[in-house]
Amino acid sequence: METLSQHVTDTLRDWVLHGRFKPGQRIEEIPTALAMGVSRTPVRAALAALANEGLIDHQPKRGYLVREFELQTIVAAYEVRAVLEGLACRTAAQRGLDAGHAQTLRDCLATGDRILGKGSLLPEDHEPYQKMNVDLHNILLAASSNPWLSRFAEQAHNIPYASDRIVLWDVEHAVIFRSHGDHHRIVDAVLERDGARAEQLMREHVYYAGIIFKKNFERLLKSTTESPAPIDL
């Protein structure tokens, strides 16, 4: 069962990854605790945990600041994700999936199909699709039975904007539809125990996600320079 400390840590991590806390912004214990309706103790523990993950920096007399990441750093994280998750798919395919993992993956595919079957990206579908995406990727990592793959992949996921926790929901329906098509092809290859194909498909899937992110990020940066109005990244 999730503890309060874990819940606060997960929530703060999600806020950083989604840009609620901006790069360079100071995170203060008391306002954050009030916003979350908790005491300072779990917030303090959560901030320490996120600092260990590298998402925030602790600076003497200034407290915790959200780290700033350059575009190339984020793109590099996608490249690492592609290799690690590709290897996880190869390993999972070679080992074979147990019935529980196989069914969970099929359920994830069905959830994505149901959401995208509406033909448009509805705001209320963002969170459930995002959860499906995270579950699918995590199951494939877990099915590799290699704890180092999961550990190193988690570090890459904790680079803001490079995580599978982030789904750019303001792109075209066709972009998300293609990405979910990748999910089908990857799962099929793993279930068929075709390790080489599973690895290549996952590497292409993550690489493509990196391309979409890079284009979107550059578009936002261009909009920022052309307009005095701030852009929420």
H helix intervals, 144-172: 147-157
Question: What CATH number has the domain bearing residue 179?
Answer: 1.20.120.530
Residue 233 is assigned to a structural domain of this protein: no
pTM for this prediction: 0.75
Range of the domain at 168: 71-226
Per-residue confidence band for 106, with pLDDT thresholds at 50, 70 and 90: very high
φ/ψ of 140, rounded to 5, equals -65, -40
The answer to the question of residue 59 being in a domain is yes
HSE value, Cβ hemisphere, 13 Å, CA-based, for 173: 12
Q: Could you tell me which residues are beta bridge partners of residue 27?
A: 64
Angle at CA of residue 50, ends 44 and 51, nearest 5°: 90
46 and 91 in a single domain? The answer is no
Q: Are residues 86 and 197 in contact, defined by beta-carbon separation less than 8 angstroms? A: no
**What is the structure's pLDDT at 153?**
87
60's tokens: 């003497």
CA distances from 224 to 18, 73, 92, 126, 169 (A): 18, 20, 43, 25, 20
What mean pLDDT comes out for the span 86-90? Answer: 97
With a cut of 70, say whether residue 2 has pLDDT above it: no
